[in-house]
Amino acid sequence: MALDAPCRDTVALGPLGQSLGFVLRLAQLTAYDDFFAVTDSLRFKPGEFSVLWVISLNPGIRQSQLGQRLMIKRAHMTKLIRQLEQRGLLTRRIPDSDRRAIELTLTPAGQSAAKAVSSVLFAGEPKPEGGLSDSERKTLLALLQKYVGLPAA
């Protein structure tokens, strides 16, 4: 408390406050808090969950595809996958068609974990989410999707 609330708003930002990159960083920190506020005790970080989730939707997906879609670098992807494998959440398989590649599939444990997190994370969706109205949230999302080149679905 005594967070000195007025102080925050009296700090001049100038054009920095109009900078997309800067505001995006603040927004991501806010969203990060929202994520943990919802998943809370579930033992996943955002990155881990997104990997788990996308594998559950795309069984047999290869690491490289996963990394490209999630914008996770290959070196980091290796660590992520290894950890999730050690936790018994997924299995790795080398296909005969291309023995360099690795196909990823969730174990039953991984599937139920993905389900558990997604059910609270994607539930209803009227989560904290700042003070945005439903239509504002939709507009924001659509613009962000366009910005990052995601199909607006």
Partner DNA sequence: TATTGTTATACTCTATAACTATA
Partner DNA sequence: TATAGTTATAGAGTATAACAATA
Contact residues for a copy of itself, defined by CB under 8 A: 3-4, 7-9, 11-32, 34-35, 46, 50, 53-54, 57-58, 61, 64-66, 68-69, 71, 118, 121-122, 125, 129-132, 136-137, 139-141, 143-151, 153
Least distance (Å) from DNA to the CB of residue 102?
Answer: 4
**Binder among 38, 42, 78, 111 for DNA (CB under 7 A):** 78
Q: Which is nearer to a copy of itself, 86 or 147 (CB)?
A: 147
Residue 100 interaction partner, one of a copy of itself, DNA, none, beta carbon < 5-8 Å per kind = DNA
DSSP the chain: ----HHHHHHS--GGGGG-HHHHHHHHHHHHHHHHHHHHTTSS--HHHHHHHHHHHHSTTEEHHHHHHHHT--HHHHHHHHHHHHHTTSEEEE--SS-TT--EEEE-HHHHHHHHHHHHHHSSSS----TT--HHHHHHHHHHHHHHHT----
Site membership for DNA, residue 9 (CB under 7 A): no
Q: Which is nearer to a copy of itself, 9 or 40 (CB)?
A: 9
Dig out the tokens for 48 from the structure: 């881990």
With a CB cutoff of 8 Å and minimum separation 6, the contacts of 144 are: 150
Least distance (Å) from DNA to the CB of residue 59?
Answer: 14
Residues engaged in binding DNA (CB under 7 A): 1-2, 4, 25, 29, 32, 45-48, 62-64, 67, 71-82, 92, 97-102
